[in-house]
Structure 1
Amino acid sequence: MTASTTRRTTAAKSRIAAAGAIAVAGAMLLTACGDQTDSGKKDTAASADANKAPLFDQLPKAIQDKGVVKIGSDIAYAPVEFKDKSGNTAGIDPDLADALGKQLGVKFEFENGTFDTLVTGLRAKRYDIAMSAMTDTKDRQNGVEDGKKVGEGVDFVDYYTAGVSIYTPKGKTQGIKTWDDLCGKKIVVQRATVSEDLAKGQAKKCPAGKKLAIESFDNDQQAQVRLRSGGADAGSSDSPIAAYAVKTSGGGNDFELVGETVESAPYGIAVAKDNKQLSSALQAAMNAIIKNGEYAKVLAKWGAESGAVTEAKLNGGS
């Protein structure tokens, strides 16, 4: 075989290989186009399904487009929100969020955070809403903490009523029945909660020599561990949380409620002040599940019927 013949043969092979490559590429291109068409059909179908939700059109377009409401939440506050034995987010708020999602045609996704950072996360646009057993107060509406303006306030869609309870180690109440009885004692609370505010207020009232010591934690579970270990005389949480801890901790043998529930106030879903359309859509969705009975089913599941409301209101806290 001559060198010329060899070159021609090599060239021919190259042309055949190139043609094959072009054919394969063409087939791949057609396949890719086919996949894109299928994906487009699926996206269109998903969008159509979302649009069938009765209140989808009330959502802001940005939420409609992404199909998700991101929720900032302290997921350590059973039974309102917590991690179950499988590590899934469970509780009153997640179940209510699922019901709201059916009305609005979008998913509600919980993201864990410490309670005292949720409002700042909302301001920073890390979340669309904060839903975390958060009491609706005028201070939070106005962005005030400890009497000082710290930032933009939030709007609340109120959906439940809760008070504040005190609990102690079981059989060791030490005569504690009221907040005044805590003078000279030590209480554990979660940071940035109404319980902490009440404890601070009570500490100022206690006489010299009988000061109330306060130990604050990032979450309520840490406070419960401290009390259970004998590191404090009492704990305080929102009424449904305290009642759940008393019922379930140690099989009901760790804690007991003392005194009466005080400071009853609404829980609210917090929404940025500049997102009025989302607040309005959430209010409409909450009223829809109150009306259709899904709301009552969720509360009954968690034994929380006592805090039920008959109407979702905006900024009803005082």
Structure 2
Amino acid sequence: MEIRLPGPRARRTQRAAAAGAALAALLPLLAACGGTPSSDATRPGPAAEGGPAAQRKDAKLAALLPQKVRESGELIVAEGDDYPPLVSLGSDNKTLVGMEPELMRAVGQVLGVKVKFSKASFDSIIGGVQSRRYDLAIQAMLDKPERQQHVTFVDYFKTSSAILVQQKNAESIGSLGDLCGRTAAVENGTAQVDDVEAQAKTCKAAGKPPAKALVFPDSVGCFQALSTGRADAFIGGTPTVAYQAKQSNGQMRQVGKPYRFLPYGILVNKQDKDLVDAVRQALQKLMDNGAYGKILKRWDVESGVLDRATVNGGTAA
């Protein structure tokens, strides 16, 4: 998913449970949003059932960590909890599971510290990293040049945006251009809001009814709107769109071609150059020893695999 810097985007997973009761016929889809995780979202930790083994501490990389991190033995990492398969709540409704938390725990093992996740709204993580409220942040944020002015990104995944619709609309909606006179659910603060607004102007210029954005503070609201027919489409990150389509038992379908290809990056304070280097080298080590690939395979997101951990590798899209 991609954001504009302003605008709130609180992720309230608890809303999913209440919505699920009201939409019993669509529980598989709503459960995947975060309230009651699916079986995929409750897979065990990295050392179990074929997951990557625990990583050995690299003393040289550990020495690059800020003094307060070395002394506390903890990295404070901002993360969300409702964007499967990248991140969601486990069966205990407390533990974060998914590709992102598993990858960060492995990075922490290489650096010899415990990773402590702190739930944060999406729009707050740049400011939180800048103010050092968090040491790092990982929350499916695209690495874009304008964001590189505020934080440094260590890229860990390549991704894009995509469109999800109910099966009945799969033949009539295949791109942003098909949204004239239709409504698309999007998360507040994301670039997908901009996409719909831009398409609305294009529709008007062509003499067609404008596209309309239904903006929600979290992905749960977006999927509720799509499931109940309030929205004709949901536009979001391709990994979660593909996941929701798979979890919907044929009720939902990803349509058209993904667009806006950019990497997701781990956010680091621009002044913490040694921490950037430590995270980059730890991630590269996981790539080289195969643990990174196993984590992506475990969460069925191998399509986003990177060969190299780059710093600020995102370019204008």
Give the Cα–Cα distance (whole angstroms) in 2 for the partners of residues 197 and 141 of structure 1: 20
Aligned position for 1:26? none
Q: Does 1:64 align with 2:77?
A: no
Give the Cα–Cα distance (whole angstroms) in 1 for the partners of residues 144 and 197 of structure 2: 17
Aligned position for 2:30? none
Q: Provide, for residues 190-233 of structure 1, a one-character-per-residue CA deviation record: whole Å limited to 9, x for no partner.
A: 12223223223322322255111101222212211111111110
The residue identity in structure 2 corresponding to 1:223 is C
Aligned position for 2:36? none
Aligned position for 2:197? 200
The residue identity in structure 2 corresponding to 1:70 is I
Runs of 4+ in structure 1 displaced over 3 angstroms?
50-54
| SS across alignment from 2:168 | coil
The residue identity in structure 1 corresponding to 2:77 is I
RMSD: 1.6
What runs of 5+ residues in structure 1 fail to find an aligned partner? 1-49, 143-152
Aligned position for 2:159? 162
What runs of 5+ residues in structure 2 fail to find an aligned partner? 1-55
Q: CA deviation at 1:100?
A: 0.5
Q: Paired residues, what number?
A: 257
Q: Provide, for residues 107-144 of structure 1, a one-character-per-residue CA deviation record: whole Å limited to 9, x for no partner.
A: 111111221222122223221111011100112112xx
Please point out which of 187, 197, 206 is paired with 1:190: 187
Give the Cα–Cα distance (whole angstroms) in 2 for the partners of residues 154 and 201 of structure 1: 27
Aligned position for 1:253? 250
Distance 1:77 1:51, change over 3 A: closer
Larger radius of gyration: 1
Give the Cα–Cα distance (whole angstroms) in 1 for the partners of residues 173 and 58 of structure 2: 55
Q: Does 1:91 align with 2:98?
A: yes
Please point out which of 113, 133, 139 is paired with 1:126: 133
Aligned position for 2:145? 138
Aligned position for 2:111? 104
Percent of paired sites with the same residue: 32
Please point out which of 298, 308, 312 is paired with 2:309: 312
Give the Cα–Cα distance (whole angstroms) in 1 for the partners of residues 185 and 272 of structure 2: 36
Give the Cα–Cα distance (whole angstroms) in 1 for the partners of residues 87 and 130 of structure 2: 22
More helix by share: 1
Aligned position for 1:42? none
Q: Does structure 1 conserve the Cα–Cα contact (< 8 Å) formed by 2:180 and 2:208?
A: no
Q: Does structure 2 conserve the Cα–Cα contact (< 8 Å) formed by 1:182 and 1:212?
A: yes
Give the Cα–Cα distance (whole angstroms) in 1 for the partners of residues 58 and 234 of structure 2: 47
The structure whose RCO (Cα within 8 Å, separation 6+) is larger is: 2
| SS across alignment from 1:86 | coil
TM-score (norm. length: structure 1): 0.77
1:1-318 → structure 2 map (5 Å cutoff): 53=59, 55-87=61-93, 88-142=95-149, 153-173=150-170, 175-207=172-204, 208-249=207-248, 252-318=249-315
